[in-house]
Structure formats: C-alpha cells, structure tokens
Structure 1
Amino acid sequence: MVKFLLLALAFVLAHAQAELEGKWVTTAIAADNIDTIEEEGPMRIYVRELTCSEACSKMGVTFYVNANGQCSETKVIGYRQEDGKYRTQFEGDNRFEPVYATPENIVFTNKNVDRTGRTTNLIFVVGKGQPLTPEQYEKLEEFSKEQGIPTENIQEVMPTGKQSE
C-alpha cells in the first residue's frame, strides 16, 4: 500500500510539473496595494517562463520588470515550504503558490512583504498569450473578492514585444 501511495504521489507531482512548466505570459494582475502593480510598480512582473526541478520542490520564474524606463529580465527560484507554498526573495519576501491550473492559464497567489514591512496580497494570472474570456474574468473577480482584493484593482496585462523570447 505504501508503494502504491508513493507511486501515486510521484505521478501527481510529475503531472503538476508538466502542467506548470513552459512558456507563459502575464495575462492579469491584482493587488490589494494597487501602487505595487501600476506601470513600473515593483510587483508588475511580465512572466515569460516557469520551470520545475527536484519533483517541483524548486520553481523557477523568469520574468521582465520595467523600472526607471529600463526593462530587464529577472529569474527567481522559489523553494517549496512545508505548507506547499514557494518562498523567494524579490522586492522583499514572497510566498507564492499556484492555486488553479489548466493548459491555458495558471492562477498564482502571492504574499509580498517588502523591505519596509508592508504586506501586499497579489494574484497573478499567466497564460499562453490570449486575453481572459469574459467567463474567466468573472471567475477572477470572484476569486479576487475572496482574497480581499478589490475587483477594481484587477489589471489586464497587454502582451509586449518580448513574448517570443
């Protein structure tokens, strides 16, 4: 029985890894502190790729940020914690997790505590380059409310010329 459970766990982790890995682009962002995701805000990230290693205990996130008129590529590695969330350092301490995944979209929650101690709750939606459908946007609004993020703080992110990189 134990071998069966371990095999099932390995299958689930492999499936999750396959579903998360690959080229993705930021489709929408929401935050309770809206200034963090405005143009050139510190948490307005433009995701381009997700990688998993070591049975997805490490998740790599490659993204672009635009600060002071400069667009730069950044990569962080999140390390899975005992509670299943990933932890990394970027503009402070971040604890993030994928909460919903389909072949078209992945929804992440993230809690950022910046260097001043300010906490921001965020939602990132990454996809394959298509805008959210009206139904998906409605689900995002509902989820945003559940997370304590005002729906007016949802921002759809337009694709940039860097998509193919």
Structure 2
Amino acid sequence: MKILLLTLGLGLVCGLQGLDNSAKGSPKLDGKWFTVALASNVTSKIEEGGSLRIFVYNIRVYDGFLTADFFKRENGKCIPFSVTAITKEDGSNLVHYDGLNDFSLESFDDEYSIFMLYNIKDGEVTIWGELFGRTPDLPDEIKKKFEEICERFGIGKDQIRDLYNDDRCEKLR
C-alpha cells in the first residue's frame, strides 16, 4: 500500500505549486465556483446519496494553502463544510474528506478548473474528477476536455455525471 501511495504521489502533477494568484494577467483559482460535472471509476460514489457527490461554492488560495467550501446533501438537507489541502514535501497535494485524497489540478483558466483525485478509504482506491465552472454550465469544448482528462485516468465517458440540471444546493449560495 505504501508503494501504491508513493507511486500515486510521485505520478501526480503538482498543480498548486505553479499557481501565483498575485500575478497580473494569470488565471485566478480564488473565488466563487459551481460543480459542473463529477466523474469516478466507482459511479455509486458520485450518484445521489454518494459520499463524493459534493458541490463547490468557493475556493481560496492563501499563503500556499488551498481551502474549498462545499455543500453535500444529507437526509434531504444541504450541509456546508470546508476542507484545506496540504502540500507535502514530495509535491503531492492531500486533503482529508471521506478518506484521504491525493489530488492534482489538471487544467484551469478563468472559466473552469479540473481536479483529479485518488480517494483512499479503508484500503480501497477510488479515482474521481471534478469539473468546476465560474458559471453553472460550461461550453461543450470544456466538457470534452474534462472527458479526455478523465479517460487518461481510466474513467470512461459513461462514468461522468453532468450536474447542470441537478439541485446543487444553489438556494444556499
């Protein structure tokens, strides 16, 4: 298991290291976001009631830390929660949520961001992806890019859920 974790950590691109939210003209990760799509090799985790079906509403990058605010639905109610990522010396990015998640920021600009994660819980590894947009929906070309990135991680098109028509706890934003 240690070798698997080391391999995953070394294999991931450290997307946060290259972020400079103070550079003029560069894309900013900070601010309001919407979850546009989720993907996973274990689709039950991103379906209604699944532990990884979460909805982002804000991301903050400060002093090398990334903190994200989310909603999740439990018993028909939208519950807010926050997570803060830790960047380890080897460059891997970790966040605790429903286990340990080793993640990378695969692609982003001012309009969208794509995160890929390895969720490790009870000895099981689940691969999942999140497509965030500054608006509740995104152009098809960005969704296609998300599909292509997911495919590189072994997630098929049939394992992606577009959440445009989903109740993403918008009333609480």
* CA distance in structure 2 between the partners assigned to 1:11 and 1:59 by the alignment: 11
Counterpart pick for 1:124 among 114, 123, 130: 130
Question: Over aligned residue pairs, what C-alpha RMSD do you find?
Answer: 2.5
User: What amino acid sits opposite 2:147 in the alignment?
Assistant: E
Deviations 1:93-151 (A, max 9, x none): 1112211111110111111112x222111110111124232222222222111110011
**TM-score (structure 2 length as normaliser):** 0.79
User: What amino acid sits opposite 2:28 in the alignment?
Assistant: E
* Higher radius of gyration, 1 or 2: 1
Shift of the 39–155 alpha-carbon distance from structure 1 to 2, 3 Å rule, reads same
* CA distance in structure 1 between the partners assigned to 2:115 and 2:147 by the alignment: 14
Identity %: 25
Deviations 1:8-51 (A, max 9, x none): x9994634996110010101110111111001210111000001
* CA distance in structure 1 between the partners assigned to 2:131 and 2:88 by the alignment: 22
Normalized per residue, which structure has more helix? 1
Counterpart pick for 2:83 among 56, 72, 76: 76
Q: In the alignment, which residue of structure 2 is the partner of 1:49?
A: 58
Counterpart pick for 2:65 among 44, 55, 58: 58
Q: In the alignment, which residue of structure 2 is the partner of 1:142?
A: 148
**TM-score (structure 1 length as normaliser):** 0.83
* CA distance in structure 1 between the partners assigned to 2:32 and 2:129 by the alignment: 19
**Between Structure 1 and Structure 2, how many residues are aligned?**
154
* CA distance in structure 2 between the partners assigned to 1:10 and 1:76 by the alignment: 20
* CA distance in structure 2 between the partners assigned to 1:154 and 1:53 by the alignment: 31
Shift of the 96–68 alpha-carbon distance from structure 1 to 2, 3 Å rule, reads same
Whether contact under 8 Å (1:25, 1:163) holds in the other structure is: no
Whether contact under 8 Å (1:24, 1:126) holds in the other structure is: yes
Q: Which runs of 5+ in 1 are unaligned?
A: 1-8
Whether contact under 8 Å (2:93, 2:103) holds in the other structure is: yes
Counterpart pick for 2:32 among 23, 26, 29: 23
